A and B are shown apart, each in its own frame.
Chain A
C-alpha cells in the first residue's frame, strides 16, 4: 500500500541552527514528491516539489530537499532556521500518472517544528 512516513512528530531547534525533517515513502514507482507548510489555522503552502531530474530541489523560504531513491526518502533541510519557520510541515506523494482525474496526494502525519530563541 502507498504510504508516507514522517518519523518525527515534533522537533525543536534553536534559531539559526540547521534543520532536517525526514520523510520516507512507500510506493511502487518514483512518485511526485512534495513538501507543504501549514501555519496555525491556515491552509497549506507548497514549499517545493520533485518530479524528475536533479535530486536536490530548491524551494521557497530557503528550504531544500533531496530525493534519495535508494532510501525512498525526501528529507527537507534548511541551513539556518528563523523563528518564523515554526509551523507544521507535511510531506506528500502523488502518483506519476498525475493526469488521471482520480489521482490524489497522500500526506504524512506531519512534523511540528518549534523554534527556540
Chain B
C-alpha cells in the first residue's frame, strides 16, 4: 500500500528559530499533498494544499509567511515554521493523494510533534 513518511517525528526548538518538516511519499508520486495541524484532543485542521510545481493554497486564517510550504518534487513536500513561537507547538500531519486510485485517496504520515520552548 501507499506509504507516507514524515521527518522528524518530533522536534524541540527555541522560540524565534525556524523548523522544517519533510513529508515524503515513498512508493508513489503525489501531485497533491496536504498539511494538517492537530491540537490535543481535537480534530485535524487543514492548513494548506500543496501542489507540485506551484504555490500552495492556504486555508483561511493560516499565515502563509509563517508556514512556508514547498512541493519541489512529486515525492517531497516541506513545511517550514518560521520564527516559531510556543503557540506554534502542535502535532503536524501531512497526507499525500495517490493518483493511482480511482478515488484519489489520501494517505497520512505518522505526524511530527513540534514543541517550541
Contacts and interface: CB of A to CB of B under 8 A. Distances in A.
Given A49-B105, A99-B104, A43 B46 contact: no
B49 interface: yes
Interface size class of A (residues with CB under 8 A): 20 to 34
Contacts of B49: 101-102, 104
B110 to A, nearest CB: 4
Contact of A109 (B43, B46, B93, B103): B43
Interface in B53-90: 57
Interface residues of B, number: 27
Contact of B43 (A43, A51, A90, A102): A90
B25 interface: no
Dominant SS at the B interface?
Answer: strand
Nearest to A4: B43
B28 interface: no
Contacts of A51: 102-103
Contacts of A36: 108
A108 B43 contact: yes
B43 A107 contact: yes
Interface of A: 32, 36, 41-46, 49, 51, 90, 94, 98-99, 101-105, 107-110, 112
